[in-house]
Amino acid sequence: MPVVKLSAFAGEKPLITPRLLPETAATAAFNTRLNDGALTPTNKSTTTGASSTGPADKTIYRHGDDWLSWSGLVSAAPGPVAADRLYYTGDGAPKMRVGGTVYPLAVQHPIAALTATPSGTGTGDVQSRVYAYTFVTDFGEESAPCPASAVIDWQPGKTVMLSGFAAAPAGRAVTKQRIYRSQSGSSGTYLYFIAERAASASDYVDTVAVDAFQEPLPSANWNEPPDTLQGLVAMPNGMMAAFSGSDVYFCEPFRPHAWPQGYVQTCDFEVVGLRAIGSALVVMTKGQPYLLSGSAPESMQSLKLEANFPCINVRGIVDLSFAICYPSNLGLVAVRADGSISLATQELFDRDAWMAFSPETIIGAQHMGNYVLFYDTLNAKGTRTSGAMMININAAQYLVRSGEVADAVFYSLEDEGLYFKRPSAPGIFRFDSPEGAPETVYWRSKEFWLTQPVNFGAMLIDLGVDTSLKSQANIDAETAAIIAQNTAILATGDLRSSIDGQLINELPLNGDSLIPLPSYEGISVSVYCDGKLVRTEMIAGRITRLPAGFKGRKWEISVSSNVQITQIIIAGTVDELRGAA
């Protein structure tokens, strides 16, 4: 007699016919982790106690202890200079946040050239000079210089009066000016630092000795970031990258306020989004993707990846650390640091099934190395469906479903937590929270087709680890919270239970507004033969009998449980089952 033994569990492969699935695969998998091979429940989502600014926010971000949110699509990244600085694009012109104060990212450079006027009597060789100056912020950021002054002739013994300084621009914490003077040497003529002073429109007299100049002007080729920059990401070696149209920009290393035009790389297609992986930058476009790689912005090499996978949704782009994933018209695409590119869902969806999830509107995230896809779409019949799918994109592609919905997400590398906001609500939740009580797993096996009709007469269900102290504490906390809510409802004296007192379907039939207490430590394993329910078993750890008097070729097993299940076996006889256990 054949034996069906489930001692490892995997997720769904919707593309494959149920009878042709691998032995451990499922036709339905909800609320389970599967990273340990067992059917382990995920935890319920819990609120973080923080709120976004409003229910319509599309972007949430945690910076230090602060939750930030925006109504538009914003790309934020901590800078390479100081931990308290956050840089972001997508909310108008690029910005920098320090503490609770927001500044424009651009440090405006002086527009007008200085007027240099020599005076006094000089002797010796005549030298040609030009002057320029820059603005400097309280944060040590230096602007590009003003245009060079007109060339003047100078001799030792003369002084030079500099006039035409502009007042410090407002709103950028500009507090200083640095003054530069040309100096010629064997390698050419450059502008060198001669003085720093508090930002002022007053004149300055240059009496600095001819050999007392210091470092060269660092910002000669710096530019302010365009107001249209989007998609900001941080990269190694102090670099940051962003894009505008089909151009990819890089900042001066460790100078996020400076974006030299000389570093710009242009793609053949309009850019949709960027992500960094290793020392490379994956550029997703409306055509073919690109890989830009290098250790410095001036040496970045551009490689067009020969794959017709346009990115159709910037909100679906996710960094899984080992690959960058994004939605295309054919499925989920994965790009790795070596430039390899593949369709990560080719074993899960065909084109029609993939497009049914409206990938142009999905929201992507990551959880435990899996791509998490939140969707909310209308099918051909006008029925709205929503939820989440956790997609394993590694060698064994499969997915697990969840009923959670989100319209904004944030992944915290610090605590490896996926945070999200539910639609039309301001609260922020943690997905599969360590503080949450166990969800209820639902899992249904493949169809096991036998060569001839048989009857399975015995079944064994084995549980995994007992409920941990942490899980029990979470269960107790949830129960206590529900009791407190019900106590408050009872105190009002109105349970909303009067006949015909509520709208249809607002409350359960013969129900009231009290919240039912959840039941834990429960399992329900059902066995089906030729599509008909044979037996539902709720006891684990011992061999139980299955009904006799019939035979069938197609057998299936489904599970509903909020505790871990490690093995399920069905066999023709008890002896056969014992031999397989």
Instruction: Say if residues 327 and 318 touch (Cβ distance below 8 Å).
Output: no
Give me the pLDDT at residue 382, please. Answer: 73
Strand 66-70 relative to strand 398-402: parallel, antiparallel, unpaired? unpaired
State mean pLDDT over 499-510: 59
pLDDT tens-digit readout, 324-365: 999 999 999 999 999 999 999 999 999 999 999 999 999 999
**What single DSSP character describes residue 387?**
E
Distance of alpha carbon 204 from alpha carbon 132, whole angstroms: 12
**DSSP strand pairing (115-119 vs 101-104):** unpaired
Choose among 348, 239, 343: nearest CA to 299: 239
CB 417 within 8 A of CB 411: yes
Identify whether the C-beta of residue 29 lies closer than 8 Å to the C-beta of residue 440.
no
Split at pLDDT 50, 70, 90, the class of 431 is very high
What is the spatial distance between Cα 282 and Cα 264, in angstroms, rounded to a whole number?
Answer: 15
What is the rounded CA–CA span in Å between residue 51 and residue 419?
12
* Reported confidence tier of residue 185, pLDDT bands at 50, 70, 90: low
| Chain center to CA of 90 | 16
Res 552 pLDDT > 60:
yes
The reported pLDDT for the residue numbered 520 is: 61
Q: Which of 103, 95, 77 is nearest to 174 (CA)?
A: 103
> Using one digit for the tens of pLDDT, what is the confidence trace for 381-427?
777 889 999 999 987 899 999 999 999 999 999 999 999 999 988 88
For residue 460 the two structure tokens come to: 């064994």
Q: Is the dihedral of CA 395, 397, 400, 401 positive or negative?
A: positive
Q: Please, which residues have CB within 8 angstroms of residue 188's CB and are 6 or more apart in sequence?
A: none
> Residue 198 burial (CB < 10 Å; 0-12/13-18/19+)?
exposed
| Backbone region of residue 540 per phi and psi (left: phi > 0; alpha: psi in -120 to 50; beta: other values) | beta
- pLDDT score at 309: 97
Does residue 245 register a pLDDT over 70? yes
CA 525 to chain centre: 37
> What is the enclosing helix (H) or strand (E) of 474?
helix 469-492
- What the chain holds in terms of domains, given with CATH numbers, is 3-42+441-483+513-580 (2.60.120), 79-103+224-306 (2.120.10.60), 115-206 (no CATH)
CA atoms of 512 and 489, how far apart (whole Å):
10
Alpha carbon separation from 30 to 13, 323, 440 (Å, rounded): 13, 25, 8
What pLDDT shows up at residue 448?
Answer: 97
Name the token pair of 449: 């087709």
Q: How far apart are CA 259 and CA 261, in angstroms?
A: 6
Determine the 3-state secondary structure of 472 from DSSP: helix
Tokens describing residue 260: 């030299």
Residue by residue, what is the 3-state secondary structure of 75-136?
EEEECCCCCCEEEEECCCCCEEEECCEEEECCCCCCCCCCEEEEECCCCCCCEEECEEEEEE
Pairing of strands 95-98, 532-537: unpaired
- Cα–Cα distance between 390 and 263 in angstroms, integer? 38
Q: Would you state the structure tokens that stand for residue 507, as one six-digit string?
A: 């409350």
Burial of 64-97, coded b for 16+ CB within 10 Å and e otherwise, reads: eeebbbbeebbbbbbbbbeeebbbbbbbeebbbb
pLDDT at position 510 over 60: no
Instruction: For residue range 38-75, list pLDDT tens digits in order.
Output: 999 999 999 987 777 778 889 999 998 899 999 999 99
Average pLDDT of the chain, as a whole number: 91
pTM of the model: 0.88
Q: Which two tokens stand for residue 13?
A: 């492969």
The confidence score (pLDDT) of residue 74 equals 97
Q: Which tokens in the block code for residue 473? A: 């504490």
Residue 521 has pLDDT above 80, yes or no: no
**Spatial strand order in the sheet of 174-185:** 131-137, 174-185, 188-198
Q: Is the pLDDT of residue 539 over 70?
A: yes
Element (H, E) at 574: helix 574-580
- Torsion, Cα of 326, 327, 330, 332 (10° steps): 50
Burial letters 374-404, b for 16+ CB under 10 A, else e: bbbbeeeeeeeeebbbbbbbeeebbbbbbeb
Residue-wise pLDDT tens digits, 99-158? 889 999 999 999 999 999 999 888 888 999 999 999 999 999 999 999 999 999 999 989
Per-residue pLDDT at 470 exceeds 70: no
What does the pLDDT look like over 209-242, one tens digit per residue?
888 888 999 999 999 999 999 999 999 999 999 9
Give one DSSP letter per residue of 331-371, joined into a string. Answer: SEEEE-TTS-EEETTTTT--HHHHHTT-TTT-EEEEETTEE
